[in-house]
Amino acid sequence: MQRDSEKTRKKILAGLERLITRKGFTGVGVNAVAREAGVDKVLIYRYFGSMEGLLQTFADEREICPRMADVFDDLPEGTPLHEIATRMIVQHIRSFHESPLAQELVCWELTEQNPLTVSFGKEMEHRELSALVEKGVVLDGDIVALTVIVLCGLEYLVLRGRNNNPMMGLDYSVPETREKIEKVVSSVMKAFFKSREVEDFTE
């Protein structure tokens, strides 16, 4: 009995994920999820309490955000901060580009707040900052601001690229464009951290 309950629960969560990925946030609702999962909608209320409960469980159990901090596992000790920052940003945006689910959730959080969009927005911030602190990396306000600006800009390009709508000729769906953008990100990060070294030296 317990095994059947867990199987049904997983079917519902998988159905929700397929629905978001295929139809976006406009297609999400109790009836639609039940149809997608092939179960009676009563089971959604039984196992999750409500649609809000289902969204919260999905947010808690799915690792939706790419883990930028994982780059530390492949970096030698003493790697310059600008290289770490570049690798983190590049890894995030590559993963975002390959995840229709993450893309749909970004679109959703721009228009609505619910347990899933709130958790999605907070998860990366908490998880990544905690991981960085554990690695001994201290991020001040300027570094955080630059990283957020770059990431948000790149996510916007990804979303436009999937609709064949390039921004000023930049189409992120094109491999050559992605390579060019990654080089620019590297140059920006290097210049930024270099300028901070000069400021520290002159103070």
Q: Tell me the mean pLDDT per 10 residues along the chain, length 203.
A: 79 92 85 94 93 86 68 74 85 88 85 75 65 66 86 91 84 91 94 74 42
Give tens-digit pLDDT for 41-55.
999 999 999 888 898
User: Using an 8 Å Cβ cutoff, are 71 and 87 in contact?
Assistant: yes
Give the start-to-end residue ranges of the domains of the chain.
2-61, 68-202
Crossing angle of helices 100-109 and 115-134, rounded to 10° = 110
Task: Quote the longest CA-to-CA distance of the chain.
Answer: 70
CATH superfamily ID and name for 2-61: Homeodomain-like (1.10.10.60)
Give tens-digit pLDDT for 92-110.
888 889 888 888 888 888 8
Give tens-digit pLDDT for 175-196.
999 999 999 999 999 999 888 7
**Rounded Cα gap, residues 98 and 52, in angstroms:** 27
